[in-house]
Structures are given as C-alpha cells and as structure tokens.
Structure 1
Amino acid sequence: MRILYHHRTRGRHVEGVHIRGIVHALRALGHDVSIMSFPGADPEHESATHANARRGRLAAAITRLPGALFECFELGYNVVTLFRAGTAIRRQKPQLIYERYSLFLFATVWLARRHGIPLVLEINDSALVERVRPLRFKNLARRIEGWCLRHCTGLVFISSYFRDQAQAAYGRIAPSVISPNAVDLARFDPSRFDVARLRAERGLADRIVCGHIGVFAHWHGVDQFVEAIAARLAEVPQLALVFVGDGLTLPAVRALVADRGLSDRVLLPGRVAHDDIASWIACMDYAVLPNSNHYGSPMKLFELMGMGVAVVAPDYAPVAEVIGDGDTGWLFPRGETTTCVQRVLDLAMQEDERRRVGAAARRYIERERQWRNNAEQLLTLLPTGGSR
C-alpha cells in the first residue's frame, strides 16, 4: 500500500524518534511510505543541506514569535499544505494518508475527503489540554480540531485520557485506537553493552544507579526530586543518581548538587545524542520519573523498560496504562515527591526486586510496545484492515 506520512513538526528529538519508528515499521510490513515534512525538516536524516538548515533556522525563528502571530502562521500553513499535499496526492496517488496532527491544520483532512483517500490522524497534541505555549485563538483551534476529529477515517491517541477528553468535547469522533509510544528493541538491547566498562568509565563502578532520561522542565519535577533526595543520600551510601538531559531547570540542579557537595553522587552529563542514550541506560539499575502530566506518553518510559530498567513513576493514567505497580514498574501518587524519594531509597536495597520487575518490563515491551505493534494497530482503522 502506498502511504503518505505528513507532519508539520521540525522532526527533531522525540518527534523524530516517533516519526522514524512508525515509518520504518510500516515499511517493514511491506508498505511504500513517503514522508512530507515541514520545509527544512528531515526526520530520517540527521544531516541537512545548507538550504534546509537555513529553512530550519527560519522555522526556529517563527516558533519564537508572540502567541497570536505564531498562531496566524500556523493557520497560514494550510495554504502551504493545500499546495504541497495536493501535488503529492496527484503524483503519488497514496492509498492512505497518515498525519501527525497539529493545531489549526485542517487542509490535509479536507484534501483526503475531496480525493476519497483514507486519512488517519495521530493525536499527540490538542487544544483541549494545557500546553507549554498558551493558546490565544483557543475557540478557533477547538472548532478546527473538532471538525478534523469527526471527518478523518480514524484516530490514534497516545493515551486514553486524550481520547476521553476529545469524546467529551466533540461528541461523536472517528473510530480510534489507543497507541502509546514504543521503542526500537534492536537499538535498546542491554546485551549490546559492556556494562562494567561503561560504569568504570563514568565513575559508577560499585554503585547502585538510579537514573532519569529527559528534558529538565518544571513539569518533570527533576529539580524538586533532587532537592528532596539530596538530604537523604547519606542513608544509602552506595546509591548514585544519573540524570541525562538538558533544559530550563538544569542550571539550578547543577548549583544544588555543587552546593551540597554531591558531585560524586549525582551525575549530570547534559544532553546526549539519541544514539548514546541506550549506553547511559545500560548503566542504570532502575530509574525514576519524578513527574509527568495527565495526557503524555513519555518516550523515556519505553526506552528504559526496553533495556530492562524498571521505573518509579507517578500514577497518571497514561503512565499507569504502561506500568503495572510492582509488575512492570512502581507507581506513586502523583505530586507526592516524598513518597517517590522513599520508594527510590527503598529499592536501592532490593536487588532481587529491581531485577524481577526490570525483566518483566522488557518482556512487556517485547510483547506489546515495539513500533511494529503501533503500525499494525493504526492499520486496523482502515476498512480493508491495511492490506497491501
């Protein structure tokens, strides 16, 4: 089957991982997939031409525009999509359009209906949830979103929370599936690594290592967690923390670690390339997600679990859909940092528990949460069941 994958993102970081995961899985199932990206974005290749790099800098500049003006650009992108997607439809004659949904973007749904092509929307964002960038034209965004969700062929929600919110707000929407994130197990395979060597090189030999992967943003709660556990690290002398990533709160965390004299107990390597993340996870005995949100499906959960590293995580619905408490991870009541810290400290002394739950987490990923599972699931939304 000929599939056109359309997205309006810059295709970087987690977005790029998700796009590549779905595209490669569909191709592995025998489908012919072409990607239509935001100009200057190329999620399949890290390198970029000079022209694409220039367009990428332009896109970055647009994202820094004031809210109302930025949303006008988002609306205006429908004109670009009408031309580009219309041309792709005429030339490629796709049998399915798969789109990573973006706010204010309705042109692809309109084109698909006009040409009689099935279109499946993947919902990672919504006008119904609290966002990093507050919406100025919220009512318009919701009207457009409701129309798109009612008039596409099918919907892929990353969490049941998203689906429930959409149904409550928009009434009867297109048929849907719940498809959290996934992982490429060929890349996230613990057997690939010499763990003893890696730990020695990173100053983690003879340590019990609790780790974290992700952006240092306020809603992830890393700064509150480190501040809360810093005073108690002396209770477990063997415990070391490794927090990989970069972001707004990282400078404050670095300052706290230095001020408490914990640089030998708390490693902060900063942002690393996605290809290097698995090597850092390989050094971890278990992991912690201090906070999340009501609707997100954190990619880091799947990459950690795929490596056989179980996670202490808050009990938001999308997280609890993936982690069974005491089965494939450990849940704590969201917002209760003290409880999270206590669970991390307790597990430091429970090697058998860490190994048992970590092994169960990897088996779960092998069974249900590889990108192939997501691709097969989205194809069930088609009347033909996704035949070639």
Structure 2
Amino acid sequence: METPVKRVLYHHRTQGKAVEGVHIRGVTDALRAEGVTVDIISVPGADPYSSPKAMSPTRQARPWMGVINKLPEPLFELVEVLYNLVAGWRLLAYLRQHRDLAFIYERYSLFMFLPTWLARMRGMPMILEVNDSATVERVRPLFFKRLAMAIERWTFRNADGLVFVSGVFRDRALAAHPGMAPAIVTPNAANIDKFTFTQAQRDDARRRYGLEGHVVCGYLGAFVPWHAIDRFVYQIADRLQQEPHLKLLLVGDGSTYPALHAFVEDRGLSERVVLTGRVSHDEVPGLLAAMDMAVLPSAGDYTSPVKLFEFMACGVPPVAPDFEPIREVLDEGRTGWMFPAGDMEAAVASVLKYSRDAESLQRIGANARAYITQHRQWRNNILQLIDFHRAIGRGTSAQTDTRTA
C-alpha cells in the first residue's frame, strides 16, 4: 500500500511509561516501518523511548510528576488546564519549523484544547486518539466536571477525526457529544515478532521460576483495584490445594501488590503463586513463554486491555470478563474464554476447568495467535489510521469500526 503521508506529529501528555508507553511506541514504530517520519512532543522528561519502561503504574517517570499527582484534585485539574500553555507554545514552535507535516495525532487528555485550536487555525488536520473521557468513571473523580465536559465537547467537535479503542466507548462519547467529528474504532494490538519464543526459552523461563511439570496460569500488568488480580488470588487460594497441577505466575506490581504478597507468604502459597514483581517490558515475552493460559480478572467496561492482545500474540489463551470491548475482539471458545464480568467465582471456575484441558489450551492458544497475526498487529491499526486520514481529506464518511473475530 502506498503511504499517503510523509511526516506525522504524535502529541501526548502522558508519562510515557507502562501501558501508555507500549501503546505510543506501538503506533509510532508501525508508522515508521511504513516510511512515515514520526516526531513526538510529550511532557518534558516523558518521552516513551527514554522514560522508564518498567511495568509500574505507581512509580512516576520523573519525581516532579509524583509531586503533581499528589496535589488536591482541584489544583491538579488547574495544572492540567494550565498545561495548555506549555503544549500550545511547543506545538506552535514545531509547526513553524515543519511545513511537510501531514497531520497531528494526539493522545487526548482531559482539559486539553489548545493544540486542537492551533491546528484548526493553521489548517492542519488533527486526529485525536481517545483513551480517556469526562464521560467515564475515573480513578480520580473530576472536580471541575462541567468544565471538563465543555472542553471535551468543543474538542471532539473541532478535531478532524477521533479514534476510539472500543465501540461502546465511541457510542458513549457520541451520546454525550452529539455532532462530534468522524470516528473510527481501533482496539489495541501487539506485534507477533515481539511475542515469539523458542521451546528453549519456554523451558528456561519455567525452570527459573520453578514451574516445570505444571500448568501455568499467568497474569501480566498492574496490581490495581480495577484489575482485581488480588481478588482473584484470594478467591482461588483455598482451591489450589485440590489442584496440584496448577501454578499461578503473576507479573507486575502496583498498589495492591504489597497486601497480596503478604497474603501469599502468610498462607504458605509462594510455591503455588509466583510473584515476579516489577519487570521491564523487554522481559515480558520471556515470562509469557512460561504460561499455558492467562487470566484477566477485570478491566474497564470501555477499555481495550493491551495485556489481552499480548497474551493472544504469544499463543496464551486468555480467560477474561465479558465486557463489550473484550467481546469485540475475543471469540468465545475459539480464541479465548469469557466469564460474567464481576463474577470472581466464575473466573476461578473457568481457570480451573480449562487448566485441566491441555488439548483446548493448545488449540485456543494457536487460534488466538493466528487472530493477532492476521488482524490485530500495530500495522493493522496504522493502516486503518492512514486510510482514515485520507477519508477525512476527501470529506467522505469515516464512521467505521474494526470488529473482526
């Protein structure tokens, strides 16, 4: 496919680490592989290619970011509003230097509007990637919610295009902001070449963590309340004694990690529940290689969990909650299994059931990897983005999604 763009600016206000960094690098690397020059403007000190790559949602990329995050909510949100001045000044300087820019691709942040206004004033296409919104329940409840909604409504209407990670998220935004810009749905992705391992690598990882001779159910990601890996372990703990074939390999850290670690130690489960703690993202494929299946106990009801795609890319069949965004990409009984969202006993029952079925684990894992290979690599996402940009330029309808099973 001939690439219709030569240069893209990726603008974001995140810390550029953990899952955020994975997403940003995935899109950026895929664009660059297609011959597109991609420049990145980020919060000073938060370049996703230089910030810490460790999978820790609780450790700030820079000390001053931790200070800001501890501000009372009203002050924190005022800082977010004021950051428009920083972003606007840096974007204006960039636009003056680069005349060959095809479009700006911005990871949308609450209270951010000046880049969209500047792009509009300069006649530069602006496409917003929407991962957050004033319309959804957030970890930090909004103090200036009416202001956030007003800014978001204006921004969504004045951008040239919007990219949502799930259909339900797009529909929720459309209901709150009628008349918003054309939108597409692009779930997250994973690159097969980064999640391919040899039998020797699998054997080494299993030997290193004492997993040989067992079926291994893994988890990868943040240990935070909304992912509920702690609740899953508490629920399955009493069942492990009756399931000697099964071990858990849990990768990552976060706010619920210390209590979970103490629970595992107190119950004498450290041989059955292996906690790796924080690891670099480069170590992830090797740890996934040790898994036979994976569990995602919970997720946001509008989000597209990156870890789900990484499990599938590695041929590790997932057990996940049946939230709509997960139903959009997971084919029950073919590329994974789902349980009723919020039902932790059902999650445990599913893990125990399928852990006893070696043939299904191999078959579903192979199907999952094939699905990622064909439909959900980062290249698929950016080819859709390039087509979207071209459709916007023609003024044609671009209200599409990518639900493919």
**1:379–1:385 Cα contact (<8 Å) kept:** no
Which residue is equivalent to 1:211? 218
Which residue is equivalent to 1:24? 29
Q: Distance in 2 between matches of 1:40 and 1:315?
A: 38
Provide the TM-score with structure 2 as the length reference. 0.91
Q: Distance in 1 between matches of 2:201 and 2:24?
A: 30
Which residue is equivalent to 2:12? 7
**1:242–1:266 Cα contact (<8 Å) kept:** yes
**1:236–1:348 Cα contact (<8 Å) kept:** no
Which residue is equivalent to 2:45? 40
Which residue is equivalent to 1:57? 63
**2:17–2:52 Cα contact (<8 Å) kept:** no
Amino acid aligned to 1:8: R
Distance 1:334 1:55, change over 3 A: closer
Q: Distance in 1 between matches of 2:64 and 2:97?
A: 28
Pick one of 221, 226, 251 that aligns with 2:233.
226
**1:220–1:292 Cα contact (<8 Å) kept:** yes
How far is the alpha carbon of 1:255 from its aligned partner?
2.0
Amino acid aligned to 2:95: I
Matches within 5 A, 1:340-379: 340-379=347-386
Q: Distance in 2 between matches of 1:386 and 1:243?
A: 46
Distance 1:38 1:307, change over 3 A: same
Distance 1:157 1:47, change over 3 A: closer
How far is the alpha carbon of 1:364 from its aligned partner?
0.6
How far is the alpha carbon of 1:188 from its aligned partner?
1.1
SS at match of 1:229: helix
**1:380–1:386 Cα contact (<8 Å) kept:** no
1:198 matched to 2:226? The reply is no
1:131 matched to 2:161? The reply is no
How far is the alpha carbon of 1:384 from its aligned partner?
5.8
1:196-223 deviation per Cα after TM superposition (whole angstroms, max 9, x unaligned): 1221121011111000001111111112
Q: Distance in 2 between matches of 1:176 and 1:91?
A: 29
1:291 matched to 2:298? The reply is yes
How far is the alpha carbon of 1:322 from its aligned partner?
1.5
Q: Distance in 2 between matches of 1:293 and 1:97?
A: 27
**2:289–2:314 Cα contact (<8 Å) kept:** yes
**1:112–1:118 Cα contact (<8 Å) kept:** yes
SS at match of 1:87: helix
How far is the alpha carbon of 1:36 from its aligned partner?
0.8
SS at match of 2:168: helix
Which residue is equivalent to 1:316? 323
May I ask how many residue pairs the two structures share in their alignment?
382
Q: Distance in 1 between matches of 2:328 and 2:314?
A: 19
1:162-182 deviation per Cα after TM superposition (whole angstroms, max 9, x unaligned): 101111001121111111111
Where structure 2 has 5 or more consecutive residues not aligned to the other structure, the ranges are 1-5, 54-59, 395-405
Q: Distance in 2 between matches of 1:55 and 1:336?
A: 35
**1:175–1:381 Cα contact (<8 Å) kept:** no
SS at match of 1:212: strand
1:203-254 deviation per Cα after TM superposition (whole angstroms, max 9, x unaligned): 0111110000011111111121111111111222110001111111112212
**2:160–2:392 Cα contact (<8 Å) kept:** no
**1:379–1:386 Cα contact (<8 Å) kept:** no
SS at match of 1:186: helix
| Range 196-205 or range 363-372, more displaced | 196-205
Q: Distance in 1 between matches of 2:133 and 2:52?
A: 30
> What percent of counterpart residues are identical?
49
**1:190–1:308 Cα contact (<8 Å) kept:** no
Which residue is equivalent to 1:83? 89
Q: Distance in 1 between matches of 2:221 and 2:27?
A: 21
SS at match of 1:380: helix
Q: Distance in 1 between matches of 2:349 and 2:61?
A: 48
| Range 254-263 or range 309-318, more displaced | 254-263
SS at match of 2:194: coil
Pick one of 310, 315, 326 that aligns with 2:333.
326
Q: Distance in 1 between matches of 2:248 and 2:389?
A: 46
Distance 1:78 1:329, change over 3 A: same
Q: Distance in 1 between matches of 2:261 and 2:229?
A: 11
Q: Distance in 1 between matches of 2:255 and 2:71?
A: 19
SS at match of 2:140: coil
SS at match of 2:265: helix
How far is the alpha carbon of 1:256 from its aligned partner?
1.9
Which residue is equivalent to 2:116? 109
1:15-48 deviation per Cα after TM superposition (whole angstroms, max 9, x unaligned): 1111111111111111111111111111123479
Pick one of 73, 88, 107 that aligns with 1:100.
107
SS at match of 2:300: coil
**2:214–2:245 Cα contact (<8 Å) kept:** yes
SS at match of 1:190: coil
SS at match of 2:192: coil
SS at match of 2:193: coil
SS at match of 1:232: helix
